[in-house]
Amino acid sequence: MNNVIVRDYDIPANDFTAAGEASSSVRKILVQLGVSPYVVKRTSIAMYEAEINAVIHGHGGKAHVEIDGSKVYIRISDEGPGIPDLELAMQEGYSTAPDSIREMGFGAGMGLSNIKKHSDIMKIDTEVNKGTTVHITVFFNAI
């Protein structure tokens, strides 16, 4: 496969009927391409967590995805409140999710660490009151 598959998705704020749709769509493409189940699983975990963060913390946002013969690159960006202390936010168990979100099963404070664990490259650009962009790369040949 030499060509690059590019997809863009809107991620609506606080809309749980749409939450996960972008991740589902990317998962489907990867399965169709015959990418290994391990890579499909890692990509799904990482992208879903970033997508949900945009939904519940970032006032919604956008996903941009590029798939080539060797990797999937995902960029999830929002114009929400940003993350004041990224090191703290990365810690497992740290969450500012309100009770209404926790009642649905979110807010374990595992999202960012799940993204890190299940991707090969993770980079977060964030600025308070400007927004957050999470860059995720998963290589197909990862062991």
Ligand X SMILES: Nc1ncnc2c1ncn2[C@@H]1O[C@H](COP(=O)(O)OP(=O)(O)O)[C@@H](O)[C@H]1O
Residues interacting with another protein, by CB under 8 A? 16-17, 19-21, 23-24, 27, 37, 41, 44-45, 48-49, 52, 104-106, 108-111, 114, 117-118
Instruction: Choose which of 44, 53, 126, 137 interacts with Mg ion (CB under 5 A).
Output: 53
The residue (of 68 and 125) whose beta carbon lies closer to ligand X is: 125
108, amino acid identity: A
The residue (of 30 and 131) whose beta carbon lies closer to another protein is: 30
Residue 60 binds what, of ligand X, another protein, Mg ion, none (CB under 5 to 8 Å, by partner type)? none
Residue ranges binding ligand X (CB under 6 A): 49, 53-54, 57-58, 78, 80-83, 89, 94-97, 106-112, 132
Q: Which residue is nearest to ligand X (CB)?
A: 111
Query: Which letter, b or e, does each residue of 44-63 get, where b requires 16 or more Cβ atoms within 10 Å of its Cβ?
Result: bbbbbbbbbbbbbbbbbbbb
The residue (of 67 and 89) whose beta carbon lies closer to Mg ion is: 89
Residue 58 lies near Mg ion (rule: CB under 5 A) = no
Instruction: In whole angstroms, give the CA distance from residue 74 to residue 136.
Output: 5
Q: How many helices (H) and strands (E) does the chain have?
A: 5, 5
The residue (of 33 and 64) whose beta carbon lies closer to ligand X is: 64
Instruction: In whole angstroms, give the CA distance from residue 90 to residue 68.
Output: 29
User: Quick check: 112 and 49 in contact, CB under 8 A?
Assistant: yes
Which residue, 63, 59, 67, 50, is CA-closest to 131?
A: 59
